[in-house]
Structure formats: structure tokens, C-alpha cells
Amino acid sequence: MLVKTLMITNPPTVSVSSKLLEAFKKVNEKGIGRVIVEDNEIRGIISTRDLLNYVVERCEKGCDRGDIFALVDKDVKYVMTPNPVYVYENDDVLDALTLMVARNFGSLPVVNEMKKVTGIVTEREMLLIFQDLDQLFSVKKFMTKRVTSVYEDVSVFDATKLMIKRGFRRLPVINESGEVVGIITAADSLKLLTKTILKNEPEMFFNKKVKEVATNEIYSIDPEKSINEAAATMLMKKIGSLLILDSKNRPLGIITERDLIIALHYQLHLKTS
């Protein structure tokens, strides 16, 4: 299978001369969470994490309206990862998958023979491969058992700092009894931050509680179910994780898109070895 059969075409892009405000506006287009920086050829890539980290680092002690305006008036080069690794349209999907797993990439820009950006492939597209594979492994083999959660009354700013520090894209939200009542993602934080920037109202991001932003719809899975079923559920619900809960709705584990592409790579390697 070729990369071009799975890639998302026409991904969001900005030019090298663009300001960060443009990146904030475009990063969530098509649900990709990334913006490619190009100037005839690919020059860089900006992720949700890059944008959040940029603001959180500079607003540790607070930011007023003038600070926010100054931050997003910078060129994208201050935040982008320059010269990102990319794949060609006609590369084999398995090679792209191996690259994503080995280098810990959540996505890969896709270019044509002229090195012009034509698409992007993310972990979610890779999950489509599961539909053609045998159900060999259960969720419990690849799930993460130590789950980092956040209390519902914690500020979105503090939850975002925790995600950045620990390298997480999401945190289950719990109440005082330890029961899961929702989930907050880096994408949720970024949407709120972008709204804060566009309205130039810093208090929107810095004062809101997690419970005001988190998604209350909770998706879980039995750890004995197959990873194929987990992948199918994530694709159908357009989500990046599934929780494993006990009888009292407390988190026992989590399986993410990242876990699943590692599992996918493992299973495909078994198949070809």
C-alpha cells in the first residue's frame, strides 16, 4: 500500500513569512492539529504542542492583552520545527509507519517528486490498516496502566502545563471521588487559547476550569477486546483514546492512537518476519 492511498490531501499550510496568528487559526483545520510551513518546498511544521508550549512558557507568570498580541505577531519560524522529515506519495506505508514509530512522530508531511506538499499522514490514518488484519492481540497487551489524571477544578492553564511537561495529548478528568467525569485534550486547550487570542481576552484561557472545557462524553473499552476493535472505535468516534475503567468509573488504563500504531507495527513485523 502506498502512502498516497491513506494521506489527507491539501493539509493546512502557511508561508515562511506568515505570523503565528495565522498558524493558530489554521492548526485545527481538518482535525489534523498541525500546520505545514512551505515556500515552494516544505520548510517546517508546527504542531498543537508547539503552539501551546510557546504560549505557556512565556505566560508562566501571566500575560495581559499586550503580551498576547506580541506573542502571535511573531514569525512562524520562531515556533516551527525546521526541515521536518517527510515521505513521498509513492513510498510504502509500512516504511512510513516504521519511521513514525522509530522516531516518535505523530505525523509525516507527504510530498510529490518535486518536493511540493500534497498531503499529510497521521496516526489516525494508519489505524485504517487494522481492518485488513487478523485479531491477534488484546487491548491489555498495549494499554498504558498508569494513568495520569487531572481534577475537574484545576485550571485549563495548569492542565495544559501538565500535558506539555509529561508529553501527553489528553488527560482524563476526575472528581473528588476519583471517578472519571470527562477528558481534556491538547486540542481542547488550543481551541480555547485560539479563541482567547482572537478575542484578546487572556482571562478566558488563564482562569477557566478544566470542567468548563473538558468533553463529558467518555469512551471506554474492555481490556479483553482486540486492538482491531479499539482502532475501529477510535476511527468511528473520531477520538484519540479509549479508557479502561473499573466498576466505579475509576481509570485502570488508557489506550491511545500512539499505542495502537506501535501495536500495528509490531503485528505487521510479525507478519513479514
Short-list 144, 85, 89, CA closest to 118: 89
Give the pLDDT score at 237: 96
- Report CA-CA distances (Å) from 152 to 26, 92, 117, 155, 157: 29, 43, 41, 8, 12
Percent of the chain beyond pLDDT 90?
84
pLDDT tens per residue, range 47-65: 999 999 999 999 988 888 8
Give the pLDDT score at 203: 87
Band of the pLDDT at 122, cuts 50, 70, 90? very high
Better-scored residue on pLDDT, 154 or 65: 154
Task: For 49-91, give the DSSP string.
Answer: HHHHHHHHHHTTT---HHHHHHHHTSBGGGTSEES---EETTS
Give the pLDDT score at 224: 97
Task: For 189-243, give the DSSP string.
Answer: HHHHHHHHHHHT-THHHHH-BHHHHSB----B--TTSBHHHHHHHHHHHT-SEEE
Structural domains in the chain, sorted by start = 3-123 (3.10.580.10)
For the record, the C-alpha cell of 180 comes out as: 472519571
For the record, the C-alpha cell of 93 comes out as: 506505508
Better-scored residue on pLDDT, 227 or 64: 227
Mean pLDDT of 207-236: 96
Give the pLDDT score at 30: 78
Give the pLDDT score at 273: 52
Band of the pLDDT at 271, cuts 50, 70, 90? low
What is the three-class DSSP state of 121? strand
Give the pLDDT score at 227: 97
Contact 228, 135 (CB under 8 A): yes
Mean pLDDT of 173-177: 96
**Beta-strand pair 117-122/150-151:** unpaired
pLDDT tens per residue, range 182-205: 999 999 999 999 999 999 888 889
Q: If you average pLDDT over every residue of the chain, what do you get?
A: 94
Mean pLDDT of 151-160: 96
Say whether pLDDT at 127 is over 90. Answer: yes
